Amino acid sequence: MGTTSARSHSKIIALCRFPGSLSWSRSVMQLVATFCLATHVYATVGVLQPVEYAANIARAIKMASDTLGGADEEGVFIKTMHGRGCLDSGCCSIDWSQQLRVNSNCPTWGWLKWNSDGPLIVSQRPLFRGCLECENAELGCVAHVSRCSGRLDQQWRLKFASNWTTVFGEPLFAIASFYSPEHCLTLVNGGGDGDFYVLQECVKPRPSEWQGFYVVRNPLKR
């Protein structure tokens, strides 16, 4: 890799040298000098673009981790934007699966957290830990918490928007499928079965209140 780079660099330098034995006009010299400068700038931009892209991805992951807590933290409550409670991952079931619902009391043990080792949202249930999942990440799928496998439909991203905060200044965000970022978790009215979450198209230009969430690290102070 280093040898190839050195050869390419030496070729550019060699190309940019002006032979002393030739009588070059001023215009030709200016043209060659401009080409050399442009080649250097293009090579620099070519390196910086992927670096800048990687930096943006790193900032997005850090923002999500800072909001929902890293892998070494206990986790945080995820509250709904419309103020009806917190996401509740349930307790436990024989098949390790529990439908995701809203709990107005903000349970002390059923919260979720972002896992900074991967785009997973992990349940902090006693004994039975699980991951937020929506089958095949398809529109209309019902969100639930089940055994962590790391497969595609357990991978999520947080979508932030500028100046989108609560009245207390907490940043609001939507929870979207990692590979279908236009599909957001949306609270729907389940009638007698209670409210639950499904994947629906994210409302634009900013997700609706039924798709918005925020974090309260200490609900006793709110």
Query: Is the pLDDT higher at 199 or at 116?
Result: 199
The pLDDT of residue 25? 46
Q: Hey, how many other C-beta atoms are within 10 angstroms of the C-beta on 50?
A: 9
* HSE (side-chain half, CA atoms, 13 Å) at 183: 21
pTM listed for this prediction: 0.64
Output the pLDDT for position 126: 60
Distance of CA 10 to the CA centre of its chain: 41
* Predicted local confidence at residue 95, as pLDDT: 54
Tokens of 18: 């002006």
List the domain boundaries for the chain: 2-64, 71-221
Tell whether the model's pLDDT for residue 99 goes beyond 60.
Answer: yes
CB count within 10 Å of CB 218 equals: 8
For 122-169, the pLDDT digits (tens) are 776 666 678 889 999 999 999 988 888 888 899 888 888 888 888 888
CA 30 to chain centre: 48
pLDDT at 143: 92
Task: Look up the CATH number of domain 71-221.
Answer: 2.80.10.50
Task: Give just the sign of the alpha carbon dihedral 219, 79, 121, 70.
Answer: negative
Segment 56-85, tens digit of pLDDT: 545 555 555 555 554 445 566 788 887 678
